[in-house]
Homo-oligomer: A and B are copies of this chain.
Amino acid sequence: MSAVPVWSVDPRTGNPREQVAAEATAEEVDRAVRSAHAVRDALADRVARAAFLRAAAELLEESGEHIIEAADAETALGPARLTGELARTAAQFRAFAEVVDEGAYLDVHIDHPDASRTPPWPDLRRYKIPLGVVAVYAASNFPLAFSVPGGDTASALAAGCPVVVKAHPDHPATSELCASVLRRAAARTGLPEDVLTVVHGFDAGVELIRHPLVSAAGFTGSVRGGRALFDAAAARPVPIPFHGELGSLNPVVVTAAAAAERAGEIGTGLGGSMTLGAGQFCTKPGFVLVPEGAAGDQLLKTLTETVSSTGSGVLLDHRMRDAFVTGVRERAALPGVDAPVTPGAAGEHTVSAGFLTVPAARLTADGPHDALLEECFGPVTVIARYTSVDEIAAVLARLPGNLTATLQTATDETRDPDAGPLLAALTPLAGRILVNGWPTGVAVAPAQHHGGPYPATTSASTSVGATAIERWLRPVTYQSTPETLLPPELREDNPLGLPRRVDGRRA
């Protein structure tokens, strides 16, 4: 059987650009995982690991021009956005190098023997160790920050886990280029190159999740693809953690007071956020509750102006374009749904942004309108017009889990009677709650949480920010173990200067 070629395709024309690789066979996936597993001990040295992460940041920046050129050619995301994404990607590696340096993620606990306890305590010392080889499934919409050199990869390497990335078919050339940069960074810092490998192909992705030496997986993508891999991870003889970010509607609630006070500002902000990157952000506000009445009408008027003046855009690939056009058409055809600005096909390769409206009352019970409560990837949002706070609550109760939920209140929120109750109603729905902001844009910060109730994520973890490292570790406790046999992280004199808890208190 001859190898299945992997082509880089130009989404602006639909034409193939170049053949960049071949799909990995089962044997090649096995070899990649075994090679990664074989070099895992090389990642045990925290100093070398931090140096590697910093070298990765540096070399990504050095190769920035080539990377951005390749990424733009096969994603059409544009140099400006990709320049920002590259900077973010490099910053992520540096942030995880700092996490490794500080060592709080090791979660060191030491309890000295205490005969007064029930039952008595022996000497117990716990820290966290890497899980093993991590499989990363790259996202379509972030060819850098959520792909080969993305947050899953950076956090797994930071944890001490070798990584095998299943590249996304929308940017195989970028994936190959980034993989070579990361492997070069490993070599430069004295680590084996096989701490990171890339494989291509759908079947390779399935082989990967089933491989007995794969210990955990990270995924960013669709509900359908993510759920299939989640199911495969759970069905293994030895199940493994599957941290998937699957899909999110990112609801926004505009209070009556907010609409009355600043309809125009909210309409403009919403229009900007929902069309950013052609609506291809996982945090795109895809569902907005707006009051019926004049203030809400004014909001929609501004939204109409903003969205109408947005140029047509190229989606990441033609399959997504077809799904967008079909998804919008199906939703627009539902009874009671209007399209003040009709989203859909523009030119042969482009789409235009738009939005749909529906009375919120249509969404309070099961029915065909449920499609409006499902993510539609691309530059469209659904505006549900409500007549009462009770109606908002009834609609929110029907929403699936989300990455984000946003509340737009009066500028002086203390004079907005609905603000408090609605914030409380939104909190169970999402992992990040915003007030008077927009959810697109995800800061890489320790307090960040990019995750949420299913299907936003398949676990309680975050894929962005310092605590993303927690996904790739497991605790181990040493009991009554002599100093000479303890890892340095757990020795009494704390030779590595780690933050720790001793006898239940911070030390």
Contact = CB atoms under 8 A, between A and B. Distances in A.
A447 B126 contact: yes
Contact of A447 (B110, B420, B441): B110
A475 B450 CA distance: 9
A350 interface: no
A389 interface: no
Interface string A206-234: 00000000000000000000000011001
A388 interface: no
Contacts of A476: 427, 430-433, 449
Given A231-B235, A446-B503, A460-B475, 11 more contacts: A84-B119, A91-B117, A124-B443, A124-B448, A409-B485, A431-B475, A435-B478, A435-B482, A436-B480, A449-B476, A499-B506
Interface stretch (A3-11, A323-331, A366-374, A451-459): A451-459
A443 B241 contact: no
A399 interface: no
Interface of A: 84, 87-88, 90-91, 98, 104, 109-111, 117-122, 124-126, 129, 131, 230-231, 234-235, 238-239, 241, 400-401, 409, 413-414, 419-420, 423, 427, 430-437, 441-449, 451, 453-455, 458-460, 462, 466-467, 473-482, 484-485, 499, 501, 503-504, 506
Given A485-B413, A485-B419, A477 B458 contact: no
- The 9 lowest CB-CB distance pairs between A and B, nearest first, are A109-B447, A234-B234, A124-B447, A449-B477, A460-B474, A111-B447, A91-B118, A435-B481, A111-B445
Given A126-B448, A484-B413, A485-B420, A479 B434 contact: yes
A407 B401 CA distance: 46
Contacts of A436: 480
A478 B443 contact: no
B474 A120 contact: no
A203 B109 CA distance: 40
Contact of A448 (B238, B443, B454, B477): B477
Contact of A480 (B238, B423, B437): B437
Contacts of A453: 238, 474
A121 B436 CA distance: 15
A436, A454, A479, A485 — most chain B CB neighbours (10 Å): A479
A435 B480 contact: yes
A501 B446 contact: yes
Contacts of A118: 87-88, 90-91, 444
Binding site secondary structure of chain A: mixed
Contacts of A110: 447
A441 B119 contact: yes
A477 B433 contact: yes
A130 to B, nearest CB: 10
Given A413-B482, A481-B435, A504 B466 contact: yes
Contacts of A104: 506
Contacts of A423: 481, 485
Contacts of A449: 126, 475-477
Contact of A117 (B98, B230, B443): B443
Nearest to A90: B118
Contacts of A435: 478-482, 485
Given A443-B119, A447-B111, A482-B413, A427 B91 contact: no
A474 B456 CA distance: 13
B231 A427 contact: no
Nearest to A423: B485
A451 B485 CA distance: 22
Contacts of A90: 118
A433 B125 CA distance: 10
Contacts of A231: 234-235
Nearest to A462: B475
B125 A447 contact: yes
Contacts of A448: 111, 124, 126, 477
A479 B430 CA distance: 12
A125 B465 CA distance: 13
Nearest to A441: B119
A291 to B, nearest CB: 20
Contacts of A238: 400-401, 453-455
Contacts of A501: 446-447
A300 to B, nearest CB: 24
Contacts of A88: 118-119
A479 B432 contact: yes
Contacts of A98: 504
Nearest to A401: B238
Contact of A445 (B121, B454, B455, B478): B121
Contacts of A109: 446-447, 467
